[in-house]
Amino acid sequence: MVKVALEMEPGDLVRVFGPATLRVSSGLVSVLGAELGEGEFFVIGELRSYVVKGVTASRIDVELEGDARVELASPEEEPYDEWVEVADSILSSCPTPCTVTVLGSTDSGKTSFTALLANRGILRGLKVAIVDADVGQADIGPPGFIGLAYPKSWVSWLRFLEPEMLRFIGSIEPSPLVGRIISACVELQAKALSDGVELIVVDSDGWVEGWAALEYKVDFVRALRSNHVVVMGDDRLAEYIARLFPGGVYKLTRPMVQATRSAEDRRRLRQENYRRFLEGDLVEVDLAKTPVYGACISGYKAEEKLVKIIEETLGEEMVELVTRYPGGACIYVEDQNPALQQAIKELQKKIQGLELMIIPLSTAKMILSALRDGRGHDCPALLVDVDLRSRKALFKTKCKGPFKSALISRIRLTEDYREAARGRIWI
């Protein structure tokens, strides 16, 4: 650990790359919209970087870990004052309660401005809520979830907040499940409003290019009835959104210098958040008595005639279970192999007009899930194993039952919480 003491005059700017902790020895400084006086501290997480501005003559002590560093910053490369000015303008003009949605591409500063706006609200004494709607790089909850949090003090990183409520989406890509994302955000917004929140800041995902993405974002803003929309660092996107929501759209400059995250950094951050929420005890859930969403195991019993055709074609010893759903059938098999692949092609010729989903038992485990409890909270869980005959399933979770329903994702993890595969029905 390296310790650095900085003397700052009013208006001075320094940029701190985390992981780092800064403490104010004297004076007053501003960081991420928060105003820190003598004795206060601020934690800057790994792969984050924030500007510190001197409000009065000040002294701050900075503890740097790993690759953290401190460097001088200039107003020309740092839009800090612009961000604070816009945040204060929004808060001055917004009704109570107020919902602000933040849009922008990946690494455009969405999460940082979300925290800054929340901090400016806290500075005014408002009760603030943050909705983390970025399912791919979720911070308040694990990936594949949308989270709601009520900050009790300065916000330095959404990952440091405790979730008030989580809503399970089941994908780290927004495109397959945009309706589920929008409805979950509206539900969390309603929860916050019922709890007397005065400012709701919604941090969205970075999917903003292409017609499908634009339609999704427009529907997102409309469904939340956002009072203001902030677009980070994208003139074209801001112009497009402003045409549809005139008078309530702000376009902000993105920082010229900021901490960057590689694809591997993003994977590691997701892995850490999976572990943070999923490391828990094993609980058994009877799926025969518990509604199951997103899984073939919730299907109804297949007709004997259909089962017979499937077993004759694939081999009776290969077929573990067949379930039906309107328009299709799920076939649980011992495992995939080249001979089975050919047999499946033959089966598809025999059963035309029926969608077939083949599920190898070897992949029907280590699935990101959620267990909804009696309060309606979606508790992060990991489906470790399941007995198809008895419908008894083992989940790893930090939560205690009883559970009202189980929700299964399209994400399969390894033993150490890395993403093994995604994008299909696993169980």
Residues 19 and 137 in one domain: no
- Identify the CATH number of the domain in which residue 186 sits: 3.40.50.300
Please report, for residues 61, 296, 334, 394, the alpha-carbon distance to residue 292 in angstroms, rounded to integers and kept in the order given: 52, 9, 22, 14
DSSP code at position 163: P
Mark residue 194 as left, alpha or beta (left: phi above 0; alpha: psi -120 to 50; beta: remaining): alpha
Contact 88, 59 (CB under 8 A): no
Number of domains in the chain: 3
Looking at the fold, whether 147 and 263 belong to one and the same domain comes out as yes
Determine the structural domain holding residue 321 and report its residue range: 279-427
Cβ atoms of residues 31 and 22 within 8 Å: yes
* Co-location of 253 and 206 in the same domain: yes
Contact between residue 170 and residue 164 where contact means Cβ atoms under 8 Å apart: no
Cβ proximity of 119 and 91 under 8 Å = no
Same domain, 67 and 87: no
Q: How far apart are CA 294 and CA 427, in angstroms?
A: 8
State the angle between helix axes of 110-123 and 80-93 in degrees (0 to 180), rounded to the nearest 10.
50
Read off the amino acid at residue 39. G
One digit per residue, pLDDT tens: the chain, 427 residues? 899 999 999 999 999 999 999 999 999 999 999 999 999 999 999 899 999 999 999 999 999 999 999 999 988 888 999 999 999 999 999 999 999 999 999 989 999 999 999 999 999 999 999 999 999 999 999 999 999 999 999 999 999 999 999 999 999 999 999 999 999 999 999 999 999 999 999 999 999 999 999 999 999 999 999 999 999 999 999 999 999 998 899 999 988 777 778 889 889 999 999 999 999 999 999 999 999 999 999 999 999 999 999 999 999 989 999 999 999 999 999 877 778 889 999 999 999 889 999 999 888 899 999 999 988 999 999 999 999 888 999 999 999 889 999 999 999 999 999 999 988 889 9
Alpha helix stretches (DSSP H) within 62-177: 80-93, 110-123
Tell me, yes or no, whether 233 and 100 share the same domain: yes
The alpha-carbon radius of gyration of the chain (Å, integer) is 25
Distance CA 330, CA 314 (A): 13
Q: Which of 211, 2, 242 is nearest to 103 (CA)?
A: 242
Domain check: are 262 and 322 in the same one?
no
Same domain for 177 and 199?
yes
| Model confidence, pTM | 0.94
Copy the structure tokens of residue 13: 């700017």
